Structure 1
Amino acid sequence: MSIVQDVAEWVHAQAKGALSRDVAAEFAITANKASMVMSQIHRESRFTTRVEHSCILDTNGRGRNTRRLYVDAVQTPQWRKTPVIGTAGDQVVRFDSITDAETIGGFVRVSITRCLAGQQEKHGGYHWQADTTEGATKCTATTTP
């Protein structure tokens, strides 16, 4: 799972919600990273959230504005990997996902997506399509575009 999902589930279990420092301490990340993760949680539609703004006093007696995040409902991610096939004549390349085609094969993710949507004919000399065959989860060949 992603850290966003993990943090959302943890905050959901907290009756008092969470501040970024609470998330940072629990997940051993910086307060800045915790704040970014909490912002991502608040933006994503799969989480039902609310934010409470308040002012707390620091050790010097100065007020600091804070945001406490509450997660009322958590849904699992709705995305899934799409295996893809690139064909050029008799040469075929297969990847577990479009991201793997980019990281392993060196292809451009956006261009493959355009090919799948019918907006582009070829990328890297290959015609791309979604792999719908059973058990097609292994990359069979890699080339550089």
Structure 2
Amino acid sequence: MKNLLTPILIGLAVFSSTACKHPSKEAESITASAPENTDNISKNVYVDSYGEKIEVTINQTKNTATIHLNGKTYDLKKSDALPEYTASNEEYQYSEIKGNITFLKKNVDMVLFHLKQAKKESGPAKMASY
């Protein structure tokens, strides 16, 4: 009986070691979600008196403006030297100064879009009396 016990124990040890080796699970891949866009972006659509529509997307973080007009897209960079919000590239310039929105072609001084927004009335002005 002792002669049989040793081979049985060795057999059980070999069997248990091979039986425990099951295919390992694939490592769970954690996909990093795309970081949320933290840029400060404003998007406006303006329509002038002729019914022409311009779509202006301003990225304050990257200091860029994207203009969509007549099916074309224009990418412009903010100009710090010019007043209020003005963006331009080699050919085009967009400006939004005191409610006047202008998009023009610089080299020929041709205005492609212009809109003068009506100012909001603040009510009657109060004057101080002395």
Q: TM-score, normalised by structure 2?
A: 0.26
- The structure with the largest alpha-carbon Rg is 2
Higher helix share: 1
Higher strand share: 2
Q: Return the structure number with greater relative CO, CA threshold 8 A, min gap 6.
A: 1
Q: TM-score, normalised by structure 1?
A: 0.24
